[in-house]
């Protein structure tokens, strides 16, 4: 599989599709929290989100797998200033 390929999977419980980016399955924070809230209805939603964010930090070691394209646009603006 091409490492730049992004493929969609069938949404779990109808909540946001899981995508594969560079061979790693990813989903939006909102969709992960929503699925966990459905599976753990007795848990405080704030606690669920806190657990997810803590796990993300441990998994990612602070390096994002994906970033908003607006970050690239901002980086281009900064880099373009150095050229001008």
Concatenated DSSP letters for 36-64? Answer: HHHH-TTS-HHHHHHHHHHHHHHHHTT--
How much is the pLDDT for 26? 87
**Average pLDDT for residues 16-22, to the nearest whole number?**
82
CA 54, chain centre distance (Å): 14
Token pair of 73 as six digits: 């646009």
- pLDDT in the model for residue 60: 84
Q: Which of 4-13, 23-32, 60-69, 75-84 has the lowest mean pLDDT?
A: 4-13
pLDDT grade, residue 14 (50/70/90)?
low
pLDDT of residue 16: 66
Over residues 32-78, the pLDDT tens digits come to 999 999 999 999 999 999 999 999 888 888 788 788 899 999 999 99
Question: What pTM did the predictor assign?
Answer: 0.65
């Amino acid at each position: 599989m091409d490492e730049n390929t992004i493929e969609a999977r069938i949404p779990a419980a109808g909540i946001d599709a899981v995508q594969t980016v560079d061979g790693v399955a990813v989903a939006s924070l909102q969709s992960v929290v929503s699925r966990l809230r459905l599976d753990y209805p007795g848990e405080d939603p704030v606690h669920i989100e806190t657990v997810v964010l803590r796990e993300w930090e441990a998994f990612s070691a602070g390096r994002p797998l994906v970033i908003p394209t607006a970050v690239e646009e901002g980086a281009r603006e900064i880099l373009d200033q150095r050229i001008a």
